[in-house]
Every structure is written in structure tokens, then in C-alpha cells.
């Protein structure tokens, strides 16, 4: 029989917070180029985090984000001065939450289910982002990849959940807007839910999340079924 759920851990960027919400500010700096800049910026953040983990060359995620921003501007031939860099880096700490984030987190709080964040973001970045989005009150635990000195999908990052919460991975649910993250957590032993907002195809990594839906509301529905002992 499957174990009942003990806690839900959420990825932050692209799951609770819309990483593309910074495009409006980017477009003010580089008219008509904001969306392209933000997409490349995000892609490079993920690429650099993986390369650094593979090569054991960890730096805090804030540095990864800044390096990715500079690369994206260089690649798109956008003149990024110190003021623009500071503005966009600050904007990254003020990302807008998805509209379903707060209602979904309130539902978890109402049933007393432990909720946390498991993110690549470093501790200061994480706290700033949650405060800026008005989400900080909904979490019992904040877990940063900085504690593991590596980034997802390294096992050491997912291990933070069981180590901190005192429950085996099989009693934890990882909710992510990134299929590769949900699969990485599944490899480690979590139950997982992929919030597939854009109807993207599943990453071909030999595994699939336990649940897939279009919204955080669906993720919470799934969590509550597990919490009640469902499979």
C-alpha cells in the first residue's frame, strides 16, 4: 500500500513564480527585445547550473543568473550597462506569482499539510523572491540547492527534503513546472507532479511524473488525494 503524503515541496522559478514576468521591464530597457532576452536568459540559467554541477564548479545561483543575463545581452547585442544590470537583477527578485499560486497554497494550509520550497535559488534570493511575491507565509520550510553546493537534478539537492523533514522521499511530493525537475525528483524517490502550463511534450528521460496537469490547483488536488491515502 502506498504511504500517505507527509509534505509537499514546490519548485520556485517557473512553478510558483513566472520567470517571464520580468519581460516587461526588459522591454522598457530594450524596446521590442524583452521577450527574446528573457527566454535566452532563462535558458542560460539552466544550462549554466547544469554545467557547473557536472563539473563541480558551484557558485551561488545569484551569480549564475547574472552571468546568464550578461551572456544573453551579449548574444542579442544588447548594450547592458551597470544600471541596467542592477535593474534586471533586482527585477528577478520581484517576479510575479502565477495567479493560482496563493489560492492553491491556501488550500494546503487549510488542511495542515506541510509545505515547503525546494529551489536552485540561493537563500537570500529565495527569501527576497517569496517576500516580493507575497508567498512567504505559506511555507514551513525553505530548502535551497546552496545547502548541497549543487543544482538540480543532483541527488544531493533532492536529498535535502528527507534530511530536513525527517520523512522518506516516498512520503514527499515535489511539484514543478519543469518536467525534467519532476523526473529528477522521481529518480530520487519522490512522488511528483508536473505543472505543464504550456502543454509541452514530456522530456524523454525514461520516466514520467506521477501526476500531470495544467495548474497548481490540479497539483493540490493530487496532493490532497495522496494525503488522504489515495494512490
pLDDT, averaged across the chain: 95
Q: In 3-state terms, what secondary structure has residue 191?
A: strand
Q: Which of 11, 100, 146, 181 is catalytic?
A: 11
The answer to whether residue 11 is catalytic is yes
d(CA 10, CA 108): 12
pLDDT exceeds cutoff 50 at 11: yes
* pLDDT score, position 1: 43
pLDDT exceeds cutoff 70 at 27: yes
- Confidence class for position 228, pLDDT limits 50, 70, 90: confident
Beta bridge mates, 208: none
CB under 8 Å to 163, separation ≥6 — which residues?
none
Contact call for residues 123 and 15 (beta carbons, < 8 A): no
Average the pLDDT over 58-67 and give the result.
97
What pLDDT, in 10s, does the model give residues 85-117?
Answer: 999 999 999 999 999 999 999 999 999 999 999
What is the H or E stretch that residue 7 is in? Answer: strand 7-10
Comparing C-alpha atoms, which of 180, 183, 199, 191 is closest to residue 219?
Answer: 191
- Confidence class for position 4, pLDDT limits 50, 70, 90: confident
What pLDDT, in 10s, does the model give residues 151-209?
Answer: 999 999 999 999 999 999 999 999 999 999 999 999 999 999 999 999 999 999 999 99
Cα end-to-end distance, the chain, whole Å: 9
Contact call for residues 15 and 100 (beta carbons, < 8 A): no
* pLDDT score, position 2: 59
Residue 17 cell numbers, joined: 513564480
Q: Among all chains, which residue has been given the C-alpha cell 535551497?
A: 144
Residue 96 cell numbers, joined: 510575479
Average the pLDDT over 66-81 and give the result.
97
pLDDT exceeds cutoff 50 at 52: yes
**3-class secondary structure for the chain?**
CCCCCCEEEECCECCCECHHHHHHHHHHHCCCCHHHHHHHHHHHHHHHHHHHHHCCCCCCHHHHHHHHHHHHHHHCCCCCCHHHHHHHHHHHCCCCECCCHHHHHHHHHHCCCEEEEEECCCHHHHHHHHHHHCCHHHCCEEEEHHHCCCCCCCHHHHCHHHHHHCCCHHHEEEEECCHHHHHHHHHHCCEEEEECCCCCCCCCCCCCCCEEECCHHHHHHHHHHHHCCCC
Contact call for residues 190 and 169 (beta carbons, < 8 A): yes
d(CA 106, CA 215): 15
- Confidence class for position 229, pLDDT limits 50, 70, 90: low
Average the pLDDT over 66-92 and give the result.
96
Amino acid at each position: 500500500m502506498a504511504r500517505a503524503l507527509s509534505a509537499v515541496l514546490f519548485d520556485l522559478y517557473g512553478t510558483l513564480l513566472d520567470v517571464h514576468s520580468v519581460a516587461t521591464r526588459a522591454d522598457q530597457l530594450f524596446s521590442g527585445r524583452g521577450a527574446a532576452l528573457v527566454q535566452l536568459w532563462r535558458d542560460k540559467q539552466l544550462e549554466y547550473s547544469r554545467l557547473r554541477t557536472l563539473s563541480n564548479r558551484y557558485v551561488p545561483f545569484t551569480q549564475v543568473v547574472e552571468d546568464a543575463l550578461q551572456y544573453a545581452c551579449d548574444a542579442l547585442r544588447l548594450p547592458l550597462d551597470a544600471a541596467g544590470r542592477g535593474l534586471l537583477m533586482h527585477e528577478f527578485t520581484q517576479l510575479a506569482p502565477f495567479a493560482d499560486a496563493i489560492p492553491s497554497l491556501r488550500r494546503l494550509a487549510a488542511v495542515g499539510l506541510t509545505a515547503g520550497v525546494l529551489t536552485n535559488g540561493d537563500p537570500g534570493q529565495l527569501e527576497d523572491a517569496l517576500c516580493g511575491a507575497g508567498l512567504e507565509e505559506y511555507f514551513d520550510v525553505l530548502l535551497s540547492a546552496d545547502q548541497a553546493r549543487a543544482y538540480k537534478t543532483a541527488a544531493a539537492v533532492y536529498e535535502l527534503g528527507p534530511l530536513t523533514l525527517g520523512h522518506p522521499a516516498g512520503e514527499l511530493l515535489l511539484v514543478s513546472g519543469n518536467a525534467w525537475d519532476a523526473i529528477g525528483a522521481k529518480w530520487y524517490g519522490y512522488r511528483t507532479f508536473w505543472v505543464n502550463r504550456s502543454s509541452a511534450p514530456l522530456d524523454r528521460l525514461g520516466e514520467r511524473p506521477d501526476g500531470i496537469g495544467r495548474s497548481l490547483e490540479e497539483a493540490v488536488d493530487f496532493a490532497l488525494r495522496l494525503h488522504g491515502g489515495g494512490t
